[in-house]
Amino acid sequence: MYNSSPPQLRTLKKKDVGLPNVDDATERQKRDGMCWKNEDELYNDGGAFKITCRDDRGGCCYHYSR
């Protein structure tokens, strides 16, 4: 298992990770804060979060921000 703590993840902007503008968001995305009004809004308000993904073999890869 690969485990890392890249702090640069905390500077990701909602727009840069592919979240929609509030004008194009669903009601659920709006409710959950998974859209942006201003282009400089940080994902998860710049707080810590975890990204989980799988490789082609089904193995898990975790990335944590702090």
57: in domain: no
Q: What is the pLDDT of residue 40?
A: 96
pLDDT cut 70: percent of the chain above it = 79
Chain centroid to CA 17: how far? 6
Report the C-alpha gap between 44 and 49 in whole angstroms. Answer: 7
36: in domain: yes
Q: How many domains does the chain have?
A: 1
60: in domain: no
Q: What is the pLDDT of residue 42?
A: 94
Burial of 56 (0-12, 13-18, 19+ CB in 10 A): exposed
User: In this predicted model, what pLDDT tens digit does every residue of 30-47 receive, in sequence order?
Assistant: 999 999 999 999 998 888
CA atoms within 13 A on the CB side of 48: 6
End-to-end CA distance of the chain: 19
Overall average pLDDT of the 11-38 stretch: 94
Contact 17, 34 (CB under 8 A): no
Overall average pLDDT of the 16-22 stretch: 93
pLDDT cut 90: percent of the chain above it = 41
